[in-house]
Amino acid sequence: MYKILANTIFLGKDIICLPECHSTNDFAVDLYKRKEAKEGTIIYTDHQTGGRGQRGTEWHSQAGKNLTFSLVLTPLFMDATEQFDLNIAISLAIKDALDDYCSGVRLKWPNDIVHETGYKLGGILIENSISNKGIESAVVGIGLNVNQRDFDFEGPTSVAKLTGSEWDLWELFKVLISRIEQYYIRLKKQDVGAMRRRYLHHLLDHEKWRMFDDGKVFEGKITGVTAQGKLMVEHRNKEVKHYAFKEVKFL
């Protein structure tokens, strides 16, 4: 089934809605490789059976309760070294959209949307295709817990659990896509400095001392994120180390 969003310039003018899908990212990547998807194409499903998080972790979602979709972008204006700026733009867009529904939304490095209590609201998975010209394509997968109240394990929360109310998924989806498009256009206009500062402002535990594990347990505080997306953590001895994903754990 195809739908079209009327409140955007290019995102969502081609939406493929699937009752069930193994992975919207895989579906979108395959469509783009076959030249059957263009910038702005969105794959939306009511039930994703094989969702993936960062570096192969699983994403579980109850059918018909949450938002699970992927969108295709062609950010050739971005250099490969700027990949994390796209993550920043998408993260801020999601936070802005959710702020209309509930309070306490924060960003957690590298790709999570969380509540200020630390419970997870959603995640982002961006798969880029790189060439010497820049980022030829980016498939952005997004999963958000909206109306699901029961989870199989400790850690997730949802907009419904935080507010006590259920929400219209399609209305939230339209708000979300509009915000993503706005931030993507800002990214294209090279308005990255302000976005990087705003990302740090909303980053969970930024400039707060807490416990980490990089093979050894230590106390540190997040001081920033490098242009390449590495987490900057200051240790008690004043040394600042840079960590890629899975090189450090939050305790």
pLDDT, tens only, 215-246: 999 999 999 999 889 999 999 999 999 999 99
Q: Average of pLDDT values for 72-91?
A: 95
Residues 176 and 64 in one domain: yes
pTM: 0.93
Widest distance between CA atoms in the chain: 58
| Residues 196, 199, 203, 208, Cα dihedral to 10° | 40
What local confidence, expressed as pLDDT, does residue 54 receive?
45
62 — pLDDT class (breaks 50, 70, 90): confident
Q: Is the pLDDT of residue 172 over 60?
A: yes
Q: What is the pLDDT at residue 55?
A: 43
Q: What is the mean pLDDT of the chain?
A: 93
Non-local (6+) Cβ contacts of 79 within 8 A are: 134, 135
Same domain for 127 and 57: yes
The count of domains in the chain is: 2
Do 240 and 180 lie in one domain? The reply is no
Q: How far apart are the first and last CA of the chain?
A: 44
Residues 178 and 113 in one domain: yes
Residue 199 above 70 pLDDT? yes
